[in-house]
């Protein structure tokens, strides 16, 4: 089994699951981790983005194994440092298995009614109510009244809230490679710092040294 397994989950689409999975995988690669990347979404955006990265810069190939399912045989043979799972925006057998497998479940949430309403359904239909491995990440929260209300709702329900990440619109995916016209347009150091902070937070949380904000 991998040392750390992370699933990006929300049964609502458009909240940033795949973007976070891609960026988190790249940060782990820069941290010299070997990754099993699993794309359970039939759109395969996580898988295709990572494959494009490998086409642009082959030096990362030894660090990534890409799968599109969670079979029992695969789980038994995970030997990498980290498993990153991108889940589709609905619950099925594979997503429930991913949640059960994961050490940490990251749930991106936008400050809107439907994004918040889906959280209760997600928790009630899975094992997330039975442990403390779910971490809520605010996406695009700012000083708007809706964001303040959303923040209060999350805290009132007792969810573990790890803060806000600045994903508002289109975001460049590269932070690992400086080669290739498409792949080298990535995040600046300042832009990627919050994502690196999240990476460190999750590592510390898994190690038992993280603190809920």
Which pLDDT does position 88 carry in this prediction? Answer: 94
The mean pLDDT of 166-183, rounded to a whole number, is: 45
Domain 4-207: give its CATH code. 3.40.50.300
Which pLDDT does position 95 carry in this prediction? Answer: 92
Which pLDDT does position 209 carry in this prediction? Answer: 52
The mean pLDDT of 157-166, rounded to a whole number, is: 76
- 163 backbone φψ class: left, alpha, beta (φ>0; ψ -120 to 50): left
Q: What percent of the chain has pLDDT over 90?
A: 18
Which pLDDT does position 113 carry in this prediction? Answer: 77
The mean pLDDT of 7-28, rounded to a whole number, is: 87
Which pLDDT does position 167 carry in this prediction? Answer: 56
As a whole number of angstroms, the distance between CA 16 and CA 22 comes to 10
Lowest mean pLDDT among 128-137, 169-178, 199-208: 169-178
Mean of per-residue pLDDT scores for the chain = 78
Q: Domain locations in the chain?
A: 4-207
């Amino acid at each position: 089994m991998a040392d750390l397994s992370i699933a990006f989950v929300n049964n609502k689409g458009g909240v940033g699951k795949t973007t976070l999975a891609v960026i988190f995988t790249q940060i782990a690669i820069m941290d010299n981790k070997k990754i099993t990347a699993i794309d359970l979404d039939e759109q395969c955006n996580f898988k295709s983005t990572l494959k494009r990265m490998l086409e642009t810069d082959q030096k990362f190939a030894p660090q990534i194994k890409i799968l599109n399912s969670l079979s029992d045989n695969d789980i038994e043979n995970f030997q990498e440092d980290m498993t990153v799972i991108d889940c589709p925006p609905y619950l099925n057998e594979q997503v429930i298995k991913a949640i059960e497998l994961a050490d940490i479940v990251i749930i991106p949430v936008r400050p809107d009614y439907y994004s918040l309403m889906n959280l209760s359904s997600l928790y009630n239909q899975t094992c997330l109510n039975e442990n403390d491995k779910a971490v809520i990440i605010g996406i695009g929260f700012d000083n708007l009244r809706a964001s303040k209300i959303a923040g209060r709702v999350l805290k009132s329900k007792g969810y573990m809230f790890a803060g806000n990440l600045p994903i508002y619109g289109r975001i460049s995916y590269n932070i690992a490679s400086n080669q290739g016209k498409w792949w080298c347009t990535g995040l600046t150091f300042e832009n990627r710092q919050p994502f690196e902070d999240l990476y460190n937070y999750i590592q510390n949380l898994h190690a038992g040294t993280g603190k809920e904000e």
